[in-house]
Amino acid sequence: MPTTTRTRRVSPGLYKLLLTTHVAVSVSWLGVAASKLAIGLMIEAADTQERADALFLAMDAINIVFPVTAVSTLISGVVLSLCTKYGLLRYYWVATKLLLSIAVIITSVQIGPRITALMQNGVQEAPLRALLALTITHVLMLIAATVLSTYKPWSRTWLGRRQAAKLVREKVAA
């Protein structure tokens, strides 16, 4: 597919670097979320409190990487979208990915620490189930973002349609 200034605003080499970076950090983010889910399920199945506490410490260690991968994914996605024909708000699938990413980050920051605080004095069943539900939701949201990246469904947003119409008017006028 030929590259034109309308489809990409950066060189092919820089585009590939941005795309590779975004894919790498977003897959890492999904991996971190899936790891948290696996550890959470192991905590649920733990036969002793000591084992559950040790697994909870492992989950806490993984939580250190979560914000780094989340913010890196968000930043690389925004930069990548601004360097391509898709733009940040021109297509519904890109805007939806942005909203999913922001929702995972916000719920992680707002809900995750509250659940974790409830569990600090030993793993308890109700907060653990809430943490598992939150983690399952995050994994599903990140998988949905991955599917959107692959299939690129839906049409342009109102902003995208407006910009496309403007380009057509400029072509006709020229």
Domain-by-domain residue ranges, the chain?
Answer: 12-173
Query: Residues 108, 29: contact at Cβ < 8 Å?
Result: no
Q: Kindly tell me if the per-residue pLDDT of 64 is higher than 50.
A: yes
pLDDT of residue 3 exceeding 50: no
Percent of the chain beyond pLDDT 70? 94
* Of 57, 71, 62, 81, the residue nearest 26 (C-alpha): 71
Both structure tokens of 74? 């968000």
For the chain, give the mean pLDDT: 90
The distance from CA 11 to its chain's CA centroid, rounded to whole angstroms, is 25
pLDDT value of residue 6: 54
pLDDT above 70 (res 98)? yes
How many Cβ atoms sit within 10 Å of the Cβ of residue 97? 24
**Each residue of 120-168: pLDDT tens digit?**
766 677 888 999 999 999 999 999 999 999 999 988 999 888 988 988 8
Query: Which whole number is the average pLDDT over 65-91?
Result: 94
